[in-house]
Amino acid sequence: MANKPMHQRLLEHLNTAVVVLDSQLQMVWMNPAAETLLAVSLARVKGSTPDNMTGLDDTLINVLRKALEEQHPYTQREAEIINAANEALTVDFTATPISANELLVEIEPRDRLMQISREEALIARQEAVKVLTRGLAHEVKNPLGGIRGAAQLLERDLPEPQMVEFTRIIIEEVDRLRDLVDRMLGPNRPPLQAPVNVHAVTERVRALLQAEGSAITLSADYDPSLPEVIGDEGQLIQAVLNIARNATQALNEQPQPDSPQPDAAPYEITLRTRARRQFTLGHERHRLVCELAIIDNGPGIPESLRETLFYPMVSGRAEGSGLGLSIAQGILHQHQGLIECDSRPGHTEFRLLIPLAGTSGDHT
């Protein structure tokens, strides 16, 4: 370390990916951030050209050549590349000539920044919905209490016993509406703060779904090194169960792949856990975040529902109450986390992201 030039040590500590290419656009050097982003090591790709390492199209290669030939910096915004791990990335990159034969390329990933913007918009919408729901609950529950009390008084004074059935119906319907409003509000107590094994949560959910007799295959893909999270085990089970049960019910309503496509896989739900490092939730960066994903291979969520998916009373199923996802998102917010969703035909993925204790870092 001490023998390295100062500029190299500085570049190696940058979070921005930096690559140096020669006049033939062959790899000369890259910093650790670039190795992580491109999923390759310098020793492996030294002397290679970018199109051999990543999925750069001809347009981007031409930008690099133009910068070198004209000795002028060029910037490309939101370019699409594929790294060595076959991951599609959206990046901004700037190509700056540092001599007639060397080109410095700075690569800034945009995927996570765009995701953070979407998450911030989601959090803002959820807060607005929460305020609206609380106001609505107050306005609804007050008259419901009066209606219930009046029905009870009326029941005592009715001259004919057979008419009591009508007041009972009023009381039962009032109670049903009150319970619905309470469910819209979500958990009415703060979560417990205790160590929770996230795999105990997922295995409990698997056992509950299997006990319901679903024909959907339930599989697990766990990271055994994942540490415990701090939270309320009961509430986390409820959140995961709401999402997994939604997926199960939606898949059960679909026809199973059959003879016209004999190689088609049957419908399946996978519970997956992973650790995400240096991850930003809202405005706060965490060194370590627990990611619990519920993945199914069904037809996907209709485009018309994706923006309002976590709103209460929004459902894509005729029999759905539209409260399961809203309640789950509320539980994750109480744990300083959130739920993301990506969906396309054949792959729908809900990711529950929960910060691990003591890993909060920078504010963004």
Could you read off the pLDDT of 71-96 as tens digits, one per residue? Answer: 999 998 888 888 887 777 888 889 99
Q: What is the average pLDDT score of the chain?
A: 82
Q: Where are the beta strands (DSSP E) in the chain?
A: 17-22, 27-30, 74-82, 88-99, 102-109, 194-196, 217-221, 229-231, 268-281, 284-296, 338-344, 347-355, 360-363
Nearest of 113, 109, 64 to residue 91 by alpha carbon: 109
Phi, psi of 338, deg, nearest 5: -160, 170
Q: Which residues contact 249 (CB under 8 A, 6 or more apart)?
A: 317, 320
Predicted local confidence at residue 260, as pLDDT? 45
Question: Measured between alpha carbons, how far is 32 from 19 in angstroms, rounded to an integer?
Answer: 10
**Ranges in the chain, pLDDT < 70:** 1-2, 51-57, 112, 114-116, 118-119, 122-123, 126, 183-189, 256-265, 282, 312-322, 357-364
Cα distances (Å, whole numbers) of residue 37 to 16, 29, 68, 183, 249: 9, 14, 23, 43, 38
Q: Could you tell me if 60 and 77 are in contact, meaning their C-beta atoms sit under 8 angstroms apart?
A: no
Amino acid at 83: N
Q: Could you tell me if 135 and 47 are in contact, meaning their C-beta atoms sit under 8 angstroms apart?
A: no
The shares of helix, strand and coil residues in the chain, as percent rounded to the nearest 5, are 45, 25, 30
Q: Could you tell me if 68 and 49 are in contact, meaning their C-beta atoms sit under 8 angstroms apart?
A: no
Predicted local confidence at residue 323, as pLDDT? 75
Amino acid at 151: A
Amino acid at 90: T
Cα distances (Å, whole numbers) of residue 117 to 111, 257, 342: 10, 37, 15
Nearest of 272, 255, 250 to residue 205 by alpha carbon: 272
Predicted local confidence at residue 192, as pLDDT? 82
Question: Can you read off the two tokens belonging to residue 315?
Answer: 């459902």
Question: Measured between alpha carbons, how far is 341 from 243 in angstroms, rounded to an integer?
Answer: 11
Buried b (16+ CB within 10 A) or exposed e, 209-230: beeeebebebeeeeeeebeebb
Question: Can you read off the two tokens belonging to residue 213?
Answer: 């007799």
Question: Can you read off the two tokens belonging to residue 361?
Answer: 């870092």
Phi, psi of 57, deg, nearest 5: -85, 175
Phi, psi of 141, deg, nearest 5: -70, -30
Cβ atoms within 10 A of the Cβ of 108, count?
A: 16
Q: Could you tell me if 97 and 68 are in contact, meaning their C-beta atoms sit under 8 angstroms apart?
A: yes
